Each structure stands twice: as C-alpha cells, then as structure tokens.
Amino acid sequence: MSEQEANLTQELSSEARLEIEAQTEEYLRRLRRSKEKLSTAQLDLKQHTFRQALIEHELEDESRDLADIRQEEKVNISLNLILSLLFLALFVGWALLLSSQLEGVAAQVSDFFTRYFNWFYVLCSSVFLIFLIYLGASRYGNVVLGDPGEKPEFSMISWCAMLFSAGMGSGLLFWGGAEPLYHYLQPPTGVPETAAAARMAMTYTSFHWGLHAWGIYTVCSVAVAYYGFRKRKKYLVSSSVMDIFENHRVNQVLKVTCDLTATLAIVFGVAASLGMGVSQIAAGLSHVFELSFFETAGGKVLVMVLMTSCFIVSATTGLDKGIKILSNLNMIIAIVLMLFLFALGPKIFVLKVFVDSLGNYLSQVFALGFTLMPFQSNYEGWMGKWTLTYFTWWIAWSPFVGIFIARISKGRTIRELIFGSLIIPTVFSIFWFSTFGGISLFLEMFTNNGTGAAVMQNETTALFELFSRFPFYTISSGIAILLIFTFLVTSADSATFVISMMTTEGDLDPSLRMKMLWGVMLAVVTLLLVLGGGLTALQAASLTFAFPFSLVLILMLISMFIRLSIQVEKPRI
C-alpha cells in the first residue's frame, strides 16, 4: 500500500478499512483465476487502482456533511406529512359526501388493475423472491445491519413473534379455514370437489401466504435496514432510493413521491385488514354469542373505537413494551388455539396434509409464481379475486411491515433477515392452513356436514363454523375473537408507529402526539371503507396504492443492489 493510500485510509472508519481490504483481496483472487495472463507488475497496478477507487468512493460517502443529509430528509418528511394528510382529508370528505359512489368506483378500480396489470404484479413478486435468495446466499449476506459485531436487539423468539404479528396476524384467522374450502369448491382449473381440487386448494393457499408474500416484505425491510443501520440514513423509504437524475429538485420530488406513496399504501393497506378484522369480530359476536347489534353500523363503530383506544394506549408504552408484549402474547394464544384444534381433530390427517402441502408447494412455487394462463379466460377472474388481491395486499403492506421489520432487525445479518423472514413464517403458515384448512376439508369431504356451504355463504363466520364442530365451541370462539382483536391492535399499533416514523424525521421513537394523529386517521379511513363499500372497497384501496409502490420497490431493489456491489463492480479495469 502506498503512503498516499495509507494516509487516505486513516480517514476512514475501521469498518470501512476492513471492508476495503477484504474487497481488494477478493478482486486479486479473481484476477489470478481469470484466463488473462497478467504479470506481477500488471497485477499490482490493477490492485492499486482498484483499492484507490474503493477508498475514494468511501471517502466521498463518509465526507458528505451529515447536516446536509438531515436537512434534505427533514424537508422531504415535512412535505410527505402535509401531502399525505391533505390527500386523506380529501378522501374522507369525498367518502362522506358521496358514499353511494364508493362501491361502484371501487369495483371499476379493481377490474382495471385485474385486467391490465396482473402480469406486472406476478412478475414483480417472483423477481423479488429470486433476488432475495441470491442476495442472502451471496457474500453480501454476511453484512451486519448495525455496527460490526453488534448483537441483535431482540431474541429470535421475540423477533419472529413481532414480524409474524405485523406481517400476517388476523389474516390467518380470517382465511385459515375458509380459503382452502373456497378453492376446493371453486377451483381455478379442473373439477371441483375432488381429491385433486383439495390438493390444489392447499397448494394455492400456501402460494398466497408463503415465500412470495414474505419476499415482498423483505425487499423493503432489507433496503431500509441497510441504509438506516449502515449508511446513516433515516428509516424512510426514500432513504433507500438512490439519486437517479442529475437535477437535485427532480430527485427530491422523486423521494417525496416515494414516501407519500408508502404512507398512503400503509394507511389503505392496513385499513383493508382492519376492516376485514372488524367485520369478522362483529360476525363472531353475532354468530357465537347472538349479539346481533355488532353486525350493524353502530356495532362496527363501537368495535373500531375500542380497538383504536387499545392500540393508542399500546403505542404510548413504546416498541419494547407494548408491541413486543402484545406480539409475544399473540403468538402464544395463536399456537395454543392451533394445537387445541389439532388435538381435537384428525391429527394424522393434518400431518399428512402438512407434509404433502409443503412438498407440493416447494415443487411448484416458481412455476406458480409465473402462472397467468392467458388462454383460459375464466382463470383471469379467479386470479383477480385471489392471487392478484393477495399480491397487491402484500405490496400495500410492505412499507409498513418492511420498515417495522427493519426497525426490529438491528444487529442481524442480511442473510439472517432474508432467510429468517422467508422461511420461518412460510413454514408456520403452511402448518396453520394444514390444521385449519385441512380439518375444514376433512369435514367437507368425509363427513358432509355443510361446512363448505356455510363458508361460501359468509366467509366472516368460517372460523366459528369450524369451531362449532368441536367441543368447547363457545370458549374456543371467544378466544379466537380475542386473538383477532389483539392481532389487529398489534397491526394498527405497528402501522401507526411506522407512519409516525416516516412523518417525524424517521425517528426510532416517534412522538405520542403523532402516533395518536395517525391512529385516529387510520380508524376513520377503515370505518369509511367498511361502511361505504365493504370488502370491494377494501380490496380496491390496496390495488390502487400497490401499483405505484411496486415501482418504488423496484427502485429500492436496484438501489440496494448497486450500493452493495459498487465496490466490486465500479472499477472496470
């Protein structure tokens, strides 16, 4: 190393110096293995040029005035807060004044995206998954999301509980017993109510809730965590997008647009889930305890007000207490409920369904990830109702879940974050659906007790119809309603936490005032969608904001890949 290089290197952090030496050694090994025969002098020259480029790049990155970075982020955040609140205020006003139009507009929006952009969502979700597998398996997977040698902030159990509660939560309870039955009775292809239809039902359910869903979340979480914990950036979506234009103002507009899109996607995506959960709680209270009041508009408002109060109270306790404790509690209750049903149901059958579903899913996951069947017109309608709705739902949730996972993943490596987020929730989801969905299929196929007809009539009561076939129906249903409620509180709490981070300079502990503001706004939007347009409006909301944010995810993916690989790929010697 020359004296000039040595002097420049001293200006870098110890972490950057070690990284430069590691990259230089790797580059030298590649040169020696190449087919081109180089002399010792040529090797030394290339190695020197390569190291010099690395040092200059790192100095440029580290020497940028932190105050300039923070001022730019502050302006972007202020604009995001103003524009997002303005947009939501306009939406609330429109929904209140013209509520009769809401369902019709929602149906048109859903039809448009289903008809013209199904290929785009399917392609994006599969590309994200393939990219993550490559990134996690590569040497970049060793990068620690934090200071070198830093230990994870949360234990593996708490980490898994929090990411799972935020990422899936009440959706598993809503669709656990219903979705496989739907696909069995109305399969996308083939003959319904056959063994082949049942197997296909479990495979498609695993596909909708498996690797592709968590891949969408993980793209966002890895990018935000990398830029936040390693590159001095705030925990914002825009911080994970590189400047791609020469004009500074154009880049600023792009970044504000990214954060605005993420904020609105979170609000409407989480509102869709809260709306479904509120409807299921109301249906459960009416179906199980004969409290029909809760299925009225007033009853749903009461449930939403109670839920809002709970997650605002939880938000006051912070991440390490409120969300962590609720998430751990959710996981314990969910596992107990699942094991309770497993113990009372056909245990060997459930285990067979799990192994068969897991194997069938893994053998077809990439083929399913590119399946559109353009030559079968009826498949497009089915896909719009199921696969496309799920994928857009996950995309709409990804800024919320991604930023939240990034926040709780400090100290973990990129490899741990990627494969932990992909594998653990996917396997658990498949076992969950094998238990709830497998038993529902067993009852429908081998006992013919009318479970399928009840589910097709009203999917919000599917879980309670399933419990009604077993002892302790009232107790298990009551616990399920409580679990749905706490899952929704956790999701809403996490969502308000993330939105508050995005609108208060990316603070890791946003102010209570901001959490309360977004908590109330989230509750209002949810109620307007539920009361004005029902499930159609909820799905349309996710579809609408998933499209622009999918473009943002692509920018985040490209930016992260360039930033991780630039030290190796930049020099073209």
- Paired with 144 in beta bridges are 413
Residues 6+ apart with CB under 8 A from 537: 102, 103, 106, 529, 530
Quote the pLDDT of residue 521.
87
Quote the pLDDT of residue 422.
93
Residues 6+ apart with CB under 8 A from 378: 188
Asked if residues 27 and 573 have their Cβ atoms less than 8 Å apart, the reply is: no
Q: What's the CA angle centered on 309, arms 307 and 313, to 5 degrees? A: 115
Quote the pLDDT of residue 436.
95
The total number of residues shown for the chain amounts to 573
Closest CA to 497 of 322, 330, 257: 322
Quote the pLDDT of residue 571.
39
Quote the pLDDT of residue 29.
67
Closest CA to 237 of 226, 224, 227, 254: 224
CA distance 180 to 187: 10
pTM: 0.82
Quote the pLDDT of residue 343.
94
Quote the pLDDT of residue 432.
94
Sign (positive or negative) of CA dihedral 534, 537, 540, 541: negative
Q: Which residue has the tokens 């939403």?
A: 304
Domains in the chain: boundaries: 3-55, 64-568
Closest CA to 124 of 319, 332, 392: 392
* CATH class label, 64-568: mainly alpha
Quote the pLDDT of residue 452.
82
Average pLDDT along the chain, 573 residues, taken 10 residues at a time: 52 59 67 70 74 62 55 78 88 74 73 84 94 91 78 83 70 88 91 94 95 93 85 77 74 87 86 83 87 84 86 69 74 89 94 97 94 85 87 86 84 91 92 95 86 80 88 91 86 82 73 85 82 66 81 90 61 37
Give, to the nearest 10 degrees, the angle between helix 14-33 and helix 40-63.
150
Quote the pLDDT of residue 569.
44
